Amino acid sequence: MSFRKTGFACLSAVMAIAVVACSDNAATANAATDDTVVHAAEVSVASKADLIAKGEKVYLANCAACHQPSGKGLAGAFPPLANSDFLKGDRKAVMSAALFGLSGPITVNGVEYNGVMPSLGHLPDEDLAAALTYVFNTWGNEGAAVSVAEVAALRVELGQVDRSTGQRHPGATEAELQYQGAPSAMSGDLTRQILTADSPALTEAEFATATQVYFERCAGCHGVLRKGATGKPLTPDITKEKGTEYLKALITYGSPAGMPNWGTSGDLTAEQIDIMARFLQQEPPAPPEFGMPEMQASWKLLVKPEDRPKSPQHKRNIDNFFAVTLRDAGKVALIDGDTKEIVTTVPTGYAVHISRPSASGRYILTIGRDAKVDMIDLWMDPPQIVAEIKIGLEARSVETSKYKGYEDKYTIAGAYWPPQFVIMDGDTLAPQKIISTRGMTVDTQEYHPEPRVAAIVASHEHPEFIVNVKETGHILLVNYSDIDSLSITDIEAAKFLHDGGWDSSKRYFLTAANQSDKVAVVDSKDRKLVALVDVTKTPHPGRGANIIDPEFGPVWVTSALGNANISFLGTDPKGHPEHAWKNVRTIDGMGGGSLFVKSHPKSSNLWVDAPLNPDESFSQSIAVFDINKLDAGFEVLPIGEWAELGEGPKRIVQPEYNMAGDEVWFSVWSGKEQESAIVVVDDKTRKLKAVIKGPDIVTPTGKFNIYNTLHDIY
């Protein structure tokens, strides 16, 4: 098969823009280059068998997400490498594709594929040689070994001398990119057009189109103001230098560093891409701020506290209720965990993110990505909303005060835009205090205009909320004993703080700084950072899981978006000081994008999901470990199959225990127009116990058991 320089030329241009689009990893690139020099001689004389062994590891880390560990590819999307006629053709063309990527239609084993293969040119020569040797000699392929010298010579021949420019942060998985690039809830009509005189022209209609596309496709990585978040800044001082055609190539073909191929994927038209390329050279339009007047205008007290029931109006076991997010329906389902009946569905608005019970267990507080907070009274029959408020234009987190003497006194919510958190009256949601999170990053001490509030938990040691400020890496301990004179302890941790939970003692808060590949440990009693623990790759714990490791004692567990790693962190500084705040054990789950791990004090199981794994056999299943036999690996349960649904992705997400700790509930998450379900499994036998489905169960995602969530049991 002939090598088409046109596709490679486009991708070469795209790779150069990676410095604009993606996070800076120059130090890593330089280190990798030095490492290549040191080891090149040794690897260059490696045997074919050694290359194949090394190549398998390189392939699994960099290629398997698309072409699959089996080499069979994915029908209609990624061509097979197993028994591939493409690999039996022009050897140089195959190696060139690895170095520069490949774009446009190709035919493999009689089937046409039309997509983009990103460049692997960022990899060291020895890794590429090993991976190519592995692919040429696996799955029925028979070929000669590829030497390091051969790869190096081809780089020079094709003009790829500086490998570090090929990708700024190698190894980003599709799961990471999907998660980090989640669309913003904001609407383009909230902004006004700002024209830059020396930038390409943009009509009012084009500006409106571009703004909406940017919020939906780009803001999750690059920030609302285009100042950068997990992705690099896209401000005019950078983009104008690159020019329209350069930006069009970037948007069309993407980059190996994580920029999606919006054009070749079919997500954006050529016209939209042209508009976006011009839009990115204009001054970024800022959505309006959202202060006290706006909050008060949005606040609705639907049922006054004095008019609410004085006791529960039904005989259901509220402690065992599950609040289930029906993401695309704009509702929350309240399900009786004892009877498995849907008690009611409550309209809460766009894309509810989490639910949190009040300290008394009477109320459920929900917050959606549209920053709307709803207070649902569980004593009512049926439960209904008694107060609501918008605390911004986009948000993710809500919590209530739990410290003794302050139960149900305050509710707090954190916003993505504007970057701030709000303290409200616990009975009515009346806004009391707004605190901005804009400030300096913990590493370079640079001002960041858009540091989002990612997660909030309530301290058990002091009357305090613990607030994660994502982009700047600050953890704020907000003392609410006197909200007119707030005392805030500022703990510097690591950038890109996300979610986390308590250790089993509920003294130590462990939270992922996911893009920094670290877990920060905060002593909530002494109000200090006790550790920054290195983990891999892009940890995503949810609240995490607390178990007793048979070798290391009490540990807190997190899975990851970026690989199959499940990390165990020691959490017992008194009983096991030698293991405290260390990554004491790493095991592999199904990988490909895990969001949640879960266990229970009464269980010997550890459950790990993988809803973003490209392999349906994993994304539609759950992995379960025996805590007492962790080295034995995991059992895979076909949760999606047990649900007996029709067509749909049927992704399995977020294990959640019932109050008794003898059942585990799973969301079977399909599309808005497809059938979804909740599957209940017996924790002891690991057998199917119940399936909850029907027209009310639309795109279920998060599930929060009232008792376990209230008492931080996980």
Cα distance between residue 560 and residue 385, in whole Å: 35
Looking from the CA of 9 toward its CB, the CA atoms found within 13 Å total 4
597-598, strands of its sheet edge to edge: 597-598, 605-608, 622-626, 634-637
Longest CA span, the chain:
82
Alpha helices in 631-692 (DSSP H): 639-643
440 is catalytic: no
| Helices and strands (H, E) in the chain, number of each type | 17, 37
218 is catalytic: yes
Residue 311 burial by Cβ neighbours in a 10 Å radius (0-12, 13-18, 19+):
exposed
67, 222, 353, 474: which is the annotated catalytic residue?
222
Q: Which residues contact 685 (CB under 8 A, 6 or more apart)?
A: none
**Is residue 221 within 8 Å of 214, Cβ to Cβ?**
no
Report how far apart, in Å, the C-alpha atoms of 571 and of each of 27, 406, 435, 627 are: 32, 28, 32, 16
What tokens were used for 362? Answer: 């009477």
Residue 118 gets which letter from DSSP? P
What tokens were used for 307? Answer: 């008019």
10, 63, 117, 218: which is the annotated catalytic residue?
218
The DSSP-derived string for 271-329 is HHHHHHHHHTTSPPPPPPP--HHHHHHH-EESS-GGGS-SS-SS-S-GGGEEEEEEGGG
Looking at residue 568, its amino acid is F
Cα-Cα end-to-end distance for the chain: 54
259 is catalytic: yes
410-417, strands of its sheet edge to edge: 394-400, 410-417, 420-425, 431-436
- Report helix, strand or coil for 645: coil
Question: How far, rounded to the nearest angstrom, does the alpha carbon of residue 334 sit from its chain's CA centroid?
Answer: 26
Number of neighbouring beta carbons within 10 Å of residue 661: 17
63, 259, 380, 659: which is the annotated catalytic residue?
259
- Report helix, strand or coil for 110: coil
Cα distance between residue 414 and residue 397, in whole Å: 5
Residue 20 gets which letter from DSSP? H
Cα distance between residue 137 and residue 147, in whole Å: 14
Beta-bridged to residue 107, according to DSSP, are 112
221 is catalytic: yes
66 is catalytic: no
Beta-bridged to residue 40, according to DSSP, are none
The DSSP-derived string for 574-599 is TT-TTTBTSEEEEEE-S-S----EE-
Q: Which residues contact 276 (CB under 8 A, 6 or more apart)?
A: 210, 213, 214, 247, 251, 268
67, 498, 576, 600: which is the annotated catalytic residue?
498
Beta-bridged to residue 261, according to DSSP, are none
Cα distance between residue 279 and residue 275, in whole Å: 6
222 is catalytic: yes
Q: What share of the chain is helix, strand, coil (3-state, %, to 5)?
A: 25, 30, 45
**Is residue 61 within 8 Å of 171, Cβ to Cβ?**
yes
221, 295, 590, 659: which is the annotated catalytic residue?
221
Of 349, 324, 350, 322, whose CA–CA distance to 336 is shortest? 322
448, 540, 576, 600: which is the annotated catalytic residue?
540
Looking at residue 28, its amino acid is T
Number of neighbouring beta carbons within 10 Å of residue 184: 22
- Report helix, strand or coil for 309: coil
What tokens were used for 697? Answer: 């169960």
Residue 341 gets which letter from DSSP? -
Of 618, 590, 582, 619, whose CA–CA distance to 606 is shortest? 590
Catalytic residues: 218, 221-222, 259, 498, 540
